[in-house]
Structures are given as C-alpha cells and as structure tokens.
Amino acid sequence: MDYAAAIRERLPAVWRGSEFDKLLAELGEYLSEDSVKEVAAAYEFSAAAHEGQHRQSGEPYITHPVAVARILAGLHLDAGTIKAALLHDVLEDTDVSLADIETSFGKDVALLVDGVSKLDKLHFDTALEAQAESFRKMLLAMVKDLRVILVKLADRTHNMRTIDALPPAKRRRIAKETLDIYAPIANRLGIYSLKVELEDLGFASFAPFRYRVLERAVRKARGGKQQNLAKLKTNISRNLAANDIDARIIAREKHLYSIYSKMRRKKIPLSEIADVNGLRIVVTDIDTCYRVLGLIHQLYKPMPGRFKDYIAIPRVNGYQSLHTTLFGPSGVPLEVQIRTEGMDKLAERGIAAHWQYKAVDKHTYSAEARAREWLTGLIEMQKAANYEEFLETVKVDLFPDKVYVFTPKGDIMRLPRGATAVDFAYAVHTDVGDRCVAAKIDRRPVPLKTILSNGESVEIITARGAKPNPNWVNFVATAKARNAIRAYLKGLKQDEARKLGRRLLDQALLPFELSIRKLKKAQVAELLSELGEDELERVFEQVGLGERLAPVVAALIAQQDGDEPNSQVLERKPLQIAGTEGLVVNYSRCCNPIPGDDIIGFLSSGRGIIIHRTVCPNVADFRKHPTKWIPVDWKSSVRGEFQSEIQVRTMNRVGLLAEVAGRISATQSNIDHVTVESDGDASTLLFRLKVRDRRHLAQVIRSIRTNPDVIRVTRLAG
C-alpha cells in the first residue's frame, strides 16, 4: 500500500533496507496506516530497550524480535500480535516493566507480552513433574489468548533457524523439545507452514546424519519424478481448461521429517512411499473440488484404498482437502490434493487465519472453535489428573486423529488410532462409558476392546447399574476414557480403603479394650487435631491405604485416657480376608497366595495390604519392618478366583500340550497364560491359571498327573 511506502520513506537512513524495513513492507499489504505506525513505535521502544545487547551469533539482539514479527506477518496476524512479537523479550532481558508496556501500548499488548515472557521461562526438563507443570502453564496462557502461543511458535522457529550458534548438546536438547512439543502444537492448531519448518529444523539438529542421508536420497530420486510430475500437471491443466474449470495447480514435495516419520512408522524404504511428490489443485468452491476429482480419475486410475475425503470429514485441526493417489505416467504413484482457496489458506495458517478474517469465514471460525474446545478439555482434565496422567493426556491429544466412525444416527466421531469401543462410549458421554456393557460394530456384536476402523458404525449398549471394569484402563486409547475410568477407580478405592481402615483400626484397638463405636466425640476431636485431619473417614482411608499404621493411631487414642494394652487380648484373632475387599487388598505376585495357604499381610503405603504366603522368600526381608506386618487369615467362606502357577515336566510328544490344557479345563480352572520350553526329549510347560483354593489346585495337579507322559507337576512360588 502507498502509505506503507510513505512510512518507510520517513524512517532513519540506518533502518532502510533492514529487516524492519522489510517487515513494514509486509505489514503494509494488509494492515491500516495507523496500525503500521503503532508497530513502528513498538520497534523503536524495543530497539532502545535492547540497545547494546547481542545474540550468541554476534548479531544485535533486536534482529531476533524483528525476525519473529516477520514470521507472524507472513501469517497475516493482527497489529497487537506483531507489537507483542517485537516486545516479547523486553521484560526478561531489559529494565522495562510490565507497567511501562501497558502505559505505552495498552493492556492487550501488555498481557500478550507477559504471557509470552512466562512461557519463555518454561524449560521442558526430563523430570515428569516439571514437564507437566510447564505444559499446564502453557495451556493456561493459551486459553487466555491463543495469540500467546502463536508468538511463542514464531519465537521458537527463529531460534531453530539460528540454532547453529549453540553448543551441540544444547542444540540436540532444544531440537528434541521442538519435535516433541512445539511442532505438534503447531500441527494441532493447523499452522502447517510453521509445523513443517519446525519439524525439518528439529530433525536436522536432532539427527543430522540421518537428515543428510535422507536429503541426498530424496534429491537423487527427484529427477525422474519431476518429469512425471510436469507431464501430469500439463495433462490435468489441459483437461480442466477444456471443462471450463479455473484452477491453480501447484507442484509439492513432502518435507523430510514427514518422509522420515512415515518410513519409521511403516518400516518401509523411501522407494515405497507414494506421496513424496504430488500436485495441489486449488479451485473456487467445494462443488468444483468434486468435479475435479472425477475428471482426474478419468485421466488416471486411482490407487485403491488411497482416497481420503477431508472436506466432508475434516481433520481434528480443521484441515480440509480431497486426497487421492493416482497411477501417473509410467505407473509412478503420485498424490493429488484438491481444495478451495479458503481451505488452502486455512491449511497453511490454521487458527492464525482467524485474526485476518475476524471469524467471518466459517472455516476459520470452526478451526478456532475446535482449538478452544481442545484446550478447554485439557484444562478440565488437568484439574482431576495427577501430573503423570495429565502429561500423558497432553501428549496423546497433541497428535492428529486418524479414525472416523459413525454413531447409529450417522453423526461422525473422531478418535485416535487404536481407539476401542470403550473409547467411543466415553467420547459420546462419560455416563455412556461408565454404564456400557456391550457394543455392536456395523450391527454385529463385538468385544468392548475391539479396535475401531474408519467408516464403521458403532452402537453402545448400556445397562442401569453397570460400572466401569478396571481392566478397561489397560486397552483404552483416549485420555478422556482413561481419566474417567481412573477417576471411578480412585473413588472406589477410597471407599474400600475406608472400610478396610475401619476394620484395621478396630483390630488395633482391641488390646486397649476399645472400639471405634465406643469412642467419645472428645476423643475423636483430639485424635483429629493430633493428626491434622478434618474427619475420621480420612484417617480410616489413610490406614486402609497403609499411609498410617493402625497400631500407632490406636496408641494415640489410648494415650488420651492413659490406657495400657491388655495382655489377654493382644493375641486376638487375625484380620479375616474374604477375597472381596477389592483394590486395597492385593495378592503378591512373588508367591501367589490362595485360600488354604498360611498367609501374612504387609502394609504398603498407597496400596493397602499386600498378602504373602508365610513361606515366601521375600517375607524374611520385610520382617525388618515389624510394625508394617499384620496377622491375617482366610475367612471360612472365601469367594473369587486366585492366580496360581504350576510347572509341568512332560515327554516331548505332539499334542501333549492340548491334552494337559484339556485336563486343566475339565477341573473348571481358567488358563491365563502358558509358555513352553523344549530341551531334547522333554518339555517344560508353565501354566498361569485361576483356582478357588488349595483343594481346587490339588485337584488340577492330580488330573494332570494321570497322563502317562507327564513326568512331574509342581506348584511355583511365583
């Protein structure tokens, strides 16, 4: 625009031809005269603040904020974001205060600069807790204003462009952080141009040798493919012109990190990747997209199974386009993308397009709405999850969804690869997930852990009173499902811990001839004050989880009246184990106790009671902590099945494994796992199975021994 040139003419001579001069030229293409003047004022302010400072490369420090601003200008961001980019380091590296920025440029710019400055303090260490806290701060900043993360992404992009000035170890750490965090965020927000650059720059610094090898291989393979691409482009262009279709046809090449990731993911060589080169066809409207698709399929045969309609079903970051892979000239496969002008701009700029179009375009609006919905969901999850779960949630959600399935009503649900019917149920609603008992895919009943595929119709069957199965957490793929199941289990565990803690404390009070029901209000109040707790139920929970020792709590209560333990009741009967205690009573895998075994209980903080056989080798080590051991015994009516392991030594004969397994099944015992080791004429079979008690296990062993080819059967300790 003319006014931009006029502003640049009035610049000091030293600025002319500089990077800032180029920035003003770029801003003049889409910002008003007043906005460009405000940006110039922000530059003068920043240049004065950074006067005398230099980067590690030796350049004046002001070159960095200007480069960041130019990256954002390329995305056509608003004037406020450009000013924040120019000022983003002044709080950290100069004497300028936040109040100074607010006075000079307003509250909006000050908040942006403050948000970016806080993100600059974040360091993604290897420690999970520190990394989770960094993610949490970043998400909170993004929720307040999405432009904060856009400035941070541009800042990281320029830092990666100039990373060669850093030592090798630091380069590698920053490159890994870029590939793990910033590039996926750019992708999740739909900013393809930044995502591609961050990935390639990160790849070049993190694995420089692999980068150079792949770059040479791609360059070598480029020659012949470019000729095919030119021929394809000419033929398609002629055909579209003959059908009165106005289109831009652009040759494109897949970027190196994307090629490398696909080779690793699919374990295939470069020669087998079909979409290294391709064409992008940009037309005026959606109807023309589908017309073009039909015309090019008439020209060249499409490759079966390689067509994707991201217009009807957009990607989770809002990306829309038609993708098809053709058998081009000489039979070489080439990918073609077909989209509208609006879709093309959105694909390059993602949510950054929102500030240019002010959300008038429904595509840009939906992209921003999707980004905010994603961020809001993550913020809700971080309130309930611990740092490990939250970190896992963020990393899962940073990567694009790949599976699109339908509800019985025809609505589309987007889920990550590997999602199961249970994930689908929780995606519909948490209550549906909690109460689901069965599933149907394309009207056929399937197990709940069935992995979903594109295009399937999924129906969830629920039942009143149904509850989540703890085993679901082992196969669900979505963070929402995993967090909902864990939240349910956490509540269940608390309830069970309180019941167990009450029993343990009652038992510990017996030597003092006390019980919980006999406690006076004053005794309870004094105990809670001593322990720093608000309610007795919380104390029960801590005792049940092994976080407090029942004898110690009982002694505190007894001390209030000066009671001494009664020697006649010290040897009262042990805690009775019924097998129905749930998550707070666990059976040790080192010795696999079953009803009928002599057992002892060990209080483990956070887990409750761990049951061991008294003959377990580990018991000797644990006896170093006598206060944590409690006497336990089986109830006369124990319910449930318990894990046990047996070793069967047999002759090496065809079909013998099936015979032994058949004899085990005949005793109504389920086999969980079996391994076979052969050595010459003999074999060793290891069975992990479920039994009711010692009698049931003895029945299993007797049944196996009746086979004449069985040499020996023994029960394993674990």
Per-residue CA distances from 179 to 195, 201, 205, 218, 647 (Å): 9, 9, 10, 21, 48
CA distance 505 to 452: 48
Q: Which residues pair with 645 in a beta bridge?
A: 688
Q: Which of 21, 92, 164, 431 is catalytic?
A: 92
Query: Which of 59, 83, 62, 63 has its CA nearest to residue 72?
Result: 83
Q: In whole angstroms, what separates CA 64 from the centre of its chain?
A: 32
List, in order, residues 6 or more apart from 690 with CB less than 8 Å away. Answer: 641, 642, 643, 644, 669, 670, 672
> Are 511 and 569 in contact, with CB atoms under 8 Å apart?
yes
Alpha-carbon gap, residue 602 to 620, rounded angstroms = 12
All residues at 6 or more sequence positions from 642 whose CB lies less than 8 Å from its CB, including other chains: 579, 587, 592, 593, 594, 595, 690, 691, 692, 693
Specify whether the CB–CB gap between 697 and 644 falls below 8 A: yes
Tell the burial category of 251 from Cβ atoms under 10 Å away from its Cβ (0-12, 13-18, 19+).
middle
CB 205 within 8 A of CB 169: no
Residues 110 and 78: beta-carbon distance below 8 Å: no
Contact assessment for residue 641 and residue 692, using Cβ atoms and an 8 Å cutoff = yes
Counted residue by residue, the chain has a size of: 718
Give, in degrees to the nearest 5, the angle at Cα 675 between 718 and 611. 20
Q: What is the C-alpha to C-alpha distance for residues 113 and 46, in angstroms, rounded to an integer?
A: 12
Cβ atoms of 35 and 27 within 8 Å: the answer is: yes
Does 92 participate in catalysis according to the annotation? yes
Alpha-carbon Rg of the chain, whole angstroms?
A: 34
**Catalytic, out of 34, 51, 59, 93:** 93
Which of the residues are catalytic? 92-93
